[in-house]
Amino acid sequence: MREIGVGIIGVGVVGSSVVKILRENEEIISARIGAKLVVKRGVVKNISKARDVVLSLDTDEDALINDPNVQIVVELMGGVDDAYRIAKKVLKSNKSLVTANKAMLAYYRYELEQIAKDNFIGFEASVCGGIPIIKALKDGLSANHILSLRGILNGTSNYILSQMSQQKISFEAALKSAQNLGYAEADPSLDINGQDAGHKLLILASLAYGINAKPEEIIIEGITKIHGDDIVFAQDFGFVIKLLGIAKKVHNEVELRVHPVLIDENKMLAKVDGVMNAISVIGDCVGETLYYGAGAGGDATASAVISDLIEIARGKNSAMLGFEKDHFSLKLRDKGCIQSRYYLRMSAFDRVGVLTKIAGILSENNISVEMFLQKQAKDEIVRLCIITHISLEADIVLALQKIDQQEFIVEESFFIRIEDFK
């Protein structure tokens, strides 16, 4: 049987899983492609570190890339610039590349597509681990204009929000629990500040819209300001709070943003709990489809890496980002143009006239109120929660600034956008 040589640069959790699964599932994988995928060698930074993998390892990436027995290079080292340098080297050596590196792709996906020419670049593992969402957008939904895409793209954040909601615990306690279970790193910043989800959203947006945006150009907000009260208030109004990556076509522009949202508790995405990921995609022909699964973990991510190896072995070859040529020039939408319903949370001294004043400021700023809830927080202090009708984000920001200048306000006010599925 024909043998296809694979080299792995970065043999950590995912790399070890790739080696293990290619061996354990060798029979069925070979049957699926009519050829055998064999990992020939790996490159690691620290050769003396003990590893749970039987594989010829060294520290020389060039030797691996130039090895005539290696036809496909798998990059699992992480980081941005070093990984990009190596990826370029692989493609220039006329070999195929498989990568799980979302941060690198968030910056350099179009550059890589240019260099790739006839070499395949697989990156299914870069977004939501084992869920085949890259292939769904590239192949499965290829007849559609994607009207919108909304994803729970970060399992750590989703676990924290689920715990806050189900166990009625604080953000800090939920984060602690995530760290204890290994769902969050010692430094959890990238997960909880939305950056990780942002990288994934940019990759998905390229497949859906052919748009080349960078992390700095889009709204990326995390979940650190979400309060237990917000979750309870949201539930009272029939909503669930989720951190979503959102891509949406509005005329000739694309809105891209990552931030917490309130969504209707009856939507499928609202039902995705714990560390699981899911992406809802609305196409103009197909309507809503949804993809659900584990977004991280060695074996789940390796499942995606190997699915790319199999596609390369089967000889598939189409444009990396799904478009063979530019079709129309969708532009990134200005951040200030966002319109949605909003959830507003304020804390104020419990005095006569407070409500009148707040209502006045909102109406002066073109904001009309859909639902209103007031609860005693502590002695003399009340929490006010408001759901607005559709408003312009610029108006919301301005109104909250004015409200926060009032002497009866006791802490900074806060808003969360409400995501209606249209």
State which of residues 6, 10, 17, 149 lies at the interface with its own copies (CB under 8 A): 17
**What is the closest distance, in whole angstroms, from the C-beta atom of residue 71 to its own copies in the complex?**
18
φ/ψ bin of 297: left (φ > 0), alpha (ψ from -120 to 50), beta (otherwise) = left
**What is the closest distance, in whole angstroms, from the C-beta atom of residue 340 to its own copies in the complex?**
24
State which of residues 98, 220, 261, 300 lies at the interface with its own copies (CB under 8 A): 300
Give the full edge-to-edge strand order of the sheet including 72-75.
57-58, 36-43, 3-9, 72-75, 96-99, 121-122
Q: Helix (H, G, I), strand (E, B), or coil: what is residue 225?
A: coil
State which of residues 299, 393, 395, 411 lies at the interface with its own copies (CB under 8 A): 299
Nearer residue to its own copies within complex by CB, 21 or 373? 21
Nearer residue to its own copies within complex by CB, 43 or 98? 98
State which of residues 5, 7, 132, 155 lies at the interface with its own copies (CB under 8 A): 132
Is 289 a binding residue for its own copies by CB under 8 A? The answer is yes
Q: Which stretch binds its own copies (CB under 8 A): 19-27, 227-235, 364-372, 412-420?
A: 19-27
Nearer residue to its own copies within complex by CB, 27 or 407? 27
* φ, ψ of residue 153 in degrees (nearest 5): -105, -5
Is 33 a binding residue for its own copies by CB under 8 A? The answer is yes
Q: What is the DSSP letter of 216?
A: G
How far is Cα 9 from Cα 104, in angstroms, rounded to an integer? 15
Number of chain residues interacting with its own copies (CB under 8 A): 67
CB-facing half-sphere around the CA of 59: CA atoms within 13 A = 5
Nearer residue to its own copies within complex by CB, 140 or 228? 140
For the record, the structure tokens of 223 come out as 């979940």
**What is the closest distance, in whole angstroms, from the C-beta atom of residue 309 to its own copies in the complex?**
8
Segment 138 to 157, residues that bind its own copies, using CB under 8 A? 139-145
Cα-based distances in Å from 297 to 8, 41, 105, 177: 18, 22, 20, 17
Is 206 a binding residue for its own copies by CB under 8 A? The answer is no
How far is Cα 413 from Cα 243, in angstroms, rounded to an integer? 19
Listed residue (346, 333, 400) closest to 372, CA to CA: 346
Nearer residue to its own copies within complex by CB, 60 or 139? 139
Listed residue (147, 149, 153, 110) closest to 131, CA to CA: 153
Is 122 a binding residue for its own copies by CB under 8 A? The answer is no
For the record, the structure tokens of 373 come out as 């809830």
Look up 242 and say whether it is catalytic. Answer: no
Neighbours of 202 (CB within 10 A): 27
- Which amino acid makes up residue 411? E
Q: Which stretch binds its own copies (CB under 8 A): 129-137, 155-163, 234-242, 413-421?
A: 129-137
Contact 16, 297 (CB under 8 A): no
For the record, the structure tokens of 77 come out as 């080292």
**What is the closest distance, in whole angstroms, from the C-beta atom of residue 139 to its own copies in the complex?**
6
How far is Cα 97 from Cα 145, in angstroms, rounded to an integer? 28
Is 6 a binding residue for its own copies by CB under 8 A? The answer is no
State which of residues 317, 363, 368, 401 lies at the interface with its own copies (CB under 8 A): 317
Segment 73 to 102, residues that bind its own copies, using CB under 8 A? none
Nearer residue to its own copies within complex by CB, 12 or 140? 140
Neighbours of 274 (CB within 10 A): 13
- Which amino acid makes up residue 77? M
Is 247 a binding residue for its own copies by CB under 8 A? The answer is no
From the candidates 40, 200, 248, 267, which is the catalytic residue? 200
Contact 135, 124 (CB under 8 A): yes
**What is the closest distance, in whole angstroms, from the C-beta atom of residue 278 to its own copies in the complex?**
8
Is 125 a binding residue for its own copies by CB under 8 A? The answer is no
Residues that are catalytic: 200
In the complex, the residues that contact its own copies under the rule CB under 8 A are 17, 21, 25, 27-35, 124, 129-132, 135-136, 139-145, 210, 268, 271-272, 278, 283-294, 297, 299-300, 302-307, 310-311, 314-319, 322-328
